[in-house]
Amino acid sequence: MEYISTRGQDGPLSYEQALLNGLARDGGLYLPTSWPKFTKAEIASMKGLSYAELAARIMAPFTQGEVSEDELRVMAEDAYSGFTHPDVAPLTSLHEDNLHVLELFSGPTIAFKDYAMQFLSRAFDRALKSAGKRAVILGATSGDTGSAALEAFKGREAVDVFILFPEGRVSPVQQKQMTSVKADGAHAIALKGDFDDCQALVKAAFNDGDFRDKVGLSAVNSINWARLMPQVVYYFASALKVGAPEKSVAFSVPTGNFGNVFAGWVASQMGLPIEKFIVASNRNDILTRFFESGVMARDGVNPSLSPSMDIQVSSNFERLLFEMLGRDGKATAALMAQFAQTGTFDVAPEVMDAMQAKFAAYRLDDEGTLAEIKRTKETYNMVIDPHSAVGLYGARMAREQGLVGDDVPIIALACAHPAKFPDAVTKGSGTVPELPAHLADLMERTEHFEIVDNDLAKVQEHLLATRRGA
């Protein structure tokens, strides 16, 4: 399998080259040159597999010629061995309107990013050892990616990881999870700005070729294709439990950066029968506005009760755009350049029609989020976090409005443990969520982090001075 850039000027590369590069040299994002396809019979045969076996089966076509399915299975078994639920990604049926909740918080940092990050750290170890290299990972987080990355990569000999998070714009639990990590090569940085500023600085650092080569820069944000691969797995795992491939399913995904939704779209390209993707946004509703109007228009980021979705530049949308433009790298690059310069772009009506056939979008403000948390507790005796509430609302609206037929199961992704956002959850549900035992003392742990100005030179200077082997 080989990889190309969405902007048409980088590649083809091998899987491990794309993994270590992270962001393409032309500023685009890597995708495989073609989508592997499973037959209906092949998907049906996956029903008896363990989660690690399923992960290896799904990811093997993307690493063909480099990493075998057996190697992937061993890596996945190691990655998910510390997850607290035996199903790894358990599914709870709500028995109302054929709705189901996919609980993605049994990993060490109790958020869905663990599914990718724990695997990714093993993938980096293998690739760096094979290449005889060191890497500096630079990432931006709106809350959960950072803690998952620092936890997964801490103390690894060949990697230093630096995570930028927006100062004062993550939950206290999210911040503690990042800043309480004390290990060689693990660095949390509070940036004076919002998440979009953090993300822009990461991309700017990658686009500085001399700096990139000097430090061996790589990425673990969802701009890295290998970050999305393990996320495809839980779409298959949950769909199989509700009747796929014999019946179609739908997914409702709370999202800001579009990476989790795109992983589901990849699953559909591989043969999983997904009828509709419901894109669920908070008050930062750039994606909802796009799917309603066909115009992508950047606005200011407004803090909300679901801070991991407080984003106005959805990086992974570029991958879907590339696909919907017939894999035309030149056209994709032109639209992304326009967006960078003007903060807006639109797509042709026929492109919009194709997108709306597969995607629907909803938004939910803070008041509605609290109401959804309350409703879920009263109706199902289930306590959910604010992001999961946004996703569940989207699922309910799609069903109530007839967008998805009653016979089609809708799976809403619950992307974080409610204890990561105790204030909102307590206010909405009347229940104070408790952290799992392994994090019970989290809020008493000592913090270790630096505060850095929103300035590329300052961030680069900090990395150069702090990385091991400098």
**Residue boundaries of the structural domains of the chain:** 91-108+225-429
Q: Are 393 and 365 in contact (CB under 8 A)?
A: no
* Other Cβ atoms closer than 10 A to 299: 12
Spatial neighbors of 440 by CB under 8 A, at least 6 apart, are 434
Helices (H), 84-224: 113-131, 144-153, 172-179, 195-207, 209-215
pLDDT tens sequence across 179-216: 999 999 999 999 999 989 999 999 999 999 999 999 99
Please state which CATH number belongs to domain 91-108+225-429: 3.40.50.1100
pLDDT at 470: 61
pLDDT at 95: 78
Average pLDDT (282-306) is: 95
Distance between CA atoms of residues 27 and 204, nearest Å: 9
pLDDT tens sequence across 309-333: 999 889 999 999 999 999 999 999 9
- Residue 359 phi/psi, 5-degree rounding, is -120, 140
To which residue do tokens 């008041």 refer?
367
Q: In what order do the strands lie in the sheet with 450-452?
A: 217-218, 135-140, 159-166, 186-191, 450-452
Annotated active-site residue in 37, 40, 47, 113: 113
**Taking all residues of the chain, what is their mean pLDDT, rounded to a whole number?**
95
Average pLDDT (452-462) is: 96
Identify whether 192 is a catalytic site residue.
no
Distance between CA atoms of residues 187 and 466, nearest Å: 9
pLDDT at 157: 86
pLDDT tens sequence across 98-129: 999 999 999 999 999 999 999 999 999 999 99
Position 222 confidence tier, pLDDT thresholds 50, 70, 90: confident
pLDDT at 421: 94
pLDDT at 155: 87
